[in-house]
Amino acid sequence: MLLRKITSPVNNISKNVCRALSTAADVKEEKIKVNNLNINYVKVGNGAHHALFLPGALGTIWTEGKPQVEGFNREKITLVAWDPPGYGKSRPPEKTFTTDFYEKDADAAYEFMKALKIPKFSLLGFSDGGVTSLILAAKYPDAVNKLVVWGSNAFILPHELEVLKKIRDINKWSKRMREPLIEIYGEKLFARYWAEWVDGMEAIVKTKDGNICSELLKHIKCPTYILYGQQDPLVDSVHVSHLHTHIDGSRIHLYPEGKHHIHLKYAEDFNQRVQEFLLKP
Residues annotated catalytic, as ranges: 127, 232, 260
Question: Burial level of 59, CB count in 10 A (0-12/13-18/19+)?
Answer: buried
Question: Burial level of 117, CB count in 10 A (0-12/13-18/19+)?
Answer: exposed
Task: Write the DSSP assignment of 33-79 as a string of letters.
Answer: EETTEEEEEEEE---SEEEEEE--TT--HHHHSHHHHHHS-TTTEEE
Looking at this protein, which amino acid is placed at residue 39? I
Q: Up-side HSE of residue 217: CA atoms within 13 Å toward CB?
A: 26
Peptide bond into 93 cis (omega under 30): yes
Per-residue 3-state assignment (H helix, E strand, C coil) for 141-190: HHHEEEEEEECCCCECCHHHHHHHHHCCCHHHCCHHHHHHHHHHHCHHHH
CA distance 128 to 63: 14
CB 37 within 8 A of CB 83: no
Task: Write the DSSP assignment of 108-144 as a string of letters.
Answer: HHHHHHHHTT--SEEEEEETHHHHHHHHHHHH-GGGE
